[in-house]
Structure 1
Amino acid sequence: MPGIQVAERAGVGLDGHPRPSEDRVVVLDHAVAVLDGATSSDPTQPSGGWYAERLASRLAHELTGDGDLPAVLRRAIAGVANAEGLRPGLSPSSTVAIVRWTAERVDSLVLADSPIVAFGQTVDLLADDRLVILRRGGRLRTRQAVRSLRNHPDGFWVAEADPGAAAHALTSSRPRAGLDAVILATDGVSCGVDDYGLFTWTEALHLARAKGLNAVLDAVRAAEDSDPDARRWPRAKRHDDQAIVLVEFAGPGRP
């Protein structure tokens, strides 16, 4: 089994007050997953953390069975939606990033903006940028806009109440031989690379190995503390939830 390290930290709500993290992490002996819950615009619905918790539990169960990763995700989304009576377009949602391995291969899946980075002879990023493109284009400024573009061909795809969203996930598969490590992260961590330019993914890996995963989270938080009014880096919350997983396939101390 590869070495697996996890670091998590709660952010703040839109009101700036602390609240429990809506990120969730699944660790199995042959797979890991990272989820970032988002609360529905319908105030009668439960939180994004509530949904991510249930989807994570379903994924842990489904990952013990057969099928490719989109099929695993489809079954998990359907299971939560059916059990909880969720309605497409009016329910909490979650990003999903999954890495599953055998002795020969490593398969990856991302849905929405929680990326996966594989390190070997090259650095390979599996990232779903559809949500980011819409946000940067100013098309997600209202709750109605988000609702109308969620799980829509002209919008973005995310785990919610429609199992069909799983078919729109991005996937990759590669030989395990030659793979050094993999990082999975929610956008509260990936913003350090994509938005703040604090480090590259390779530099983030080196920092994690030298000082631990919490050093990566600390660097992002320090940058945000230096910009308390979100002028340099416009963002909805001063601190987002953070979750990062490092899977060492052949890292330091490993064959």
Structure 2
Amino acid sequence: MPEIVIAERAGVGADGHPRPTEDHVVVLDNAVFVLDGATSSDPSQPPGGWYAERLARHLADDLRAAPAAALTDVLTGAIAAVTTENELRPQQSPSSTVAAVRWLEDRVDALVLADSPVVGFGGFGVDVVSDDRLARLRRRGMLQTGADVRRRRNAHDGFWVAEADPGAAAHAVRRSWPRADVDAVLLASDGVSIGVDQYELFDWLEVLAITRTDGPDAVLDAVRTAEKQDPDGERWPRPKRHDDQALVLIDFASGGIQGLP
């Protein structure tokens, strides 16, 4: 088994007050999932962390039962199960991003739905598996209100995320690499990837180097330090001062798990 190193940190809510993280990390014998829950704008709905935790549990159970199953099929089934069990309705439910990495004897598979990227490193170079549909809509000013988000969520002219439509899984971004070519893989929630994509504090090779040398918490620290220097979002506009953070390194050069409680 590769070495797996994990760092997680809670952010703040939209009101600026601390609250439990809505990110979830799941480690299996041959897979890792990172989910970032997003709370519905409908206050009668459960929080995003509630949804992400239930989806993570189904993903783990289903992949344990069929370790080589197609990741898209596993995600489809998990979304369907959470939707049915909790009577969720499309456009009116909490949601979650999904980043998944699964390794088999001959290959390493990655799946990304919404803005939690997976980054592979190896003989192929640096391969960023990202779903930028949400970011493109934000840059174009098309997600200004809750109604905008609901209208564009899981729509062909919008973005795709795990919510109450199992068909969203078919729109995930996928990648497979030969196992022998893979040196390491990173999974991150957007509270970490923002340090690369928006703050430009480092690139992904530097994130890998820092994580290997100083540990993943050093990456989280760098992002938080930058945000503290821009508390009101003047340099980097963002919906809240600090987002939840999750970063996982799967290092195929060694073995073990660090950072799990």
TM over 0.5, shorter chain: yes
Number of positions where the alignment pairs a residue of Structure 1 with one of Structure 2: 253
CA deviations on 1:166-185 (whole Å, 9 max, x unpaired) are 01001011101021100000
The answer on whether the counterparts of 1:179 and 1:250 sit within 8 Å (CA) in structure 2 is: no
Q: Distance in 2 between matches of 1:17 and 1:185?
A: 23
**Partner residue, 2:183:** 180
Q: C-alpha offsets along residues 143-200 of structure 1, whole Å, 9 cap, x if unaligned?
A: 0000000000000000001100001001011101021100000000000000000000
Instruction: Please say if 1:106 is aligned against 2:80.
Output: no
Q: For the Cα contact (< 8 Å) 1:123–1:202, is it kept in 2?
A: yes
- Higher mean Cα deviation, 211-220 or 59-68? 59-68
- In the alignment, which residue of structure 1 is the partner of 2:24? 24
Correspondence 1:235 to 2:238: yes
Q: Is the 8 A contact 1:208 1:215 kept in 2?
A: yes
In the TM superposition, structure 1's runs of 4+ consecutive aligned residues that sit over 4 Å from their partners are none
Question: What is residue 61 of structure 2 aligned with on the other side?
Answer: 61
Structure 1 residue 62: deviation in Å?
A: 1.2
Task: Give 1:251 shift.
Answer: 5.8
Displacement of 1:252 after TM fit? 9.8
**Residue 77 of structure 1, aligned match among 72, 76, 79:** 79
- Counterpart of 2:40 in structure 1 is 40
Instruction: Report % sequence identity.
Output: 66
Gaps of 5+ in 1: none
Deviation of 1:67 after TM superposition, in Å, equals 2.5
Provide the secondary structure at the position in 1 that maps to 2:235: coil
| Cα distance in 2 for residues equivalent to 1:109 and 1:224 | 29
- Counterpart check, 1:149 vs 2:152: yes
Assess, with a 3 A threshold, how the Cα gap between structure 1 residues 173 and 204 changes in structure 2: closer, same or farther. same
Decide whether the 8 Å contact of 2:2 with 2:254 is kept in 1. Answer: no
For 1:28 and 1:251, the matched residues in 2 are separated by 16
Q: Are the counterparts in 1 of residues 112 and 173 from structure 2 also a CA contact under 8 Å?
A: yes
- Offset at residue 246 of structure 1 (A): 0.3
Q: Is the 8 A contact 2:26 2:56 kept in 1?
A: yes
Return 5+ residue gaps in structure 2 as ranges.
257-261
* Distance (Å, rounded) in 1 between the aligned partners of 2:150 and 2:49: 18
Distance in 2 of aligned mates of 1:220 and 1:237: 14
Q: Structure 2 counterpart of 1:200, which letter?
A: D
> Cα RMSD between the aligned structures?
1.2
What are the superposed Cα offsets for residues 110-168 of structure 1, whole Å, 9 maximum, x if unpaired?
A: 00000000001200000000000001110001000000000000000000011000010
SS of 1:35's equivalent in the other structure is: strand
Instruction: Give the SS at the match of 1:180.
Output: strand
> What is the aligned partner in structure 1 of residue 249 from structure 2?
246
Mapped partners of 2:255, 2:25: distance in 1: 23
Q: Which amino acid aligns with 1:17?
A: H
